[in-house]
């Protein structure tokens, strides 16, 4: 569920319970809210129900740099670091089920993949409609491609899906 949960803990807990109850296997959460009384209730519900939490590490739109690309002072190390790098490290610490990094920024996908290795998969939106390229995203370390508009807005959605499948090397 691409809800980008981003509220206080009590609200996030209810959000998670409802989405999981209607059948979603995982939800996307925004790590800007922090752990205590932010993300922790989502992870608690997910663990109890054996569901997933995918953290939003770097979005696919042009304005992402204003938040996810900003330089911060890491609270633990005191070092300057990009926000998205701090989020990738938190994904490891929180044992997230996955992270989102926009395919429109393959260099960011590559950096995050270097941190996560193969421990946490990268989901990459922005393929096609926003300019992200399948090959670049996969080579950088994306494991799942989000291609909704490329299919939904195509004149022939079935053909578009087949082309994407073939480009990604997923031939039947």
Closest to 27 measured CA to CA, from 8, 48, 11, 43: 43
Specify whether 4 is catalytic: yes
* Catalytic residue from among 4, 40, 90, 162: 4
Closest to 94 measured CA to CA, from 13, 38, 148: 38
Supply the angle between the helices 106-116 and 83-94 in degrees, to the nearest 10. 40
Phi, psi for 69 (deg, rounded to 5)? -95, -5
Cα–Cα distance, 34 to 46 (Å, whole number): 17
Active site residues: 4
């Amino acid at each position: 569920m691409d809800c980008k949960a981003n509220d206080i803990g009590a609200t996030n807990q209810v959000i998670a319970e409802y989405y999981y109850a209607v059948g979603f296997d995982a939800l996307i959460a925004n790590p800007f809210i922090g752990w205590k009384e932010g993300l922790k209730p989502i992870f608690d519900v997910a663990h109890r129900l054996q569901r997933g939490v995918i953290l939003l590490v770097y979005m696919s739109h042009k304005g992402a740099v204003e938040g996810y690309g900003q330089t911060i002072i890491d609270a633990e190390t005191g070092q300057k670091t990009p926000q998205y790098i701090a989020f990738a490290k938190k994904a490891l610490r929180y044992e997230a089920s996955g992270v989102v990094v926009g395919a429109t920024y393959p260099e960011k996908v590559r950096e995050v993949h270097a941190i996560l290795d193969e421990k946490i998969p990268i989901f990459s939106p922005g393929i096609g409609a926003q300019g992200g390229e399948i090959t670049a995203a996969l080579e950088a370390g994306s494991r799942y491609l989000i291609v909704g508009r490329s299919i939904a807005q195509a004149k022939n959605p079935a053909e578009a899906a087949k082309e994407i499948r073939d480009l990604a090397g997923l031939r039947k």
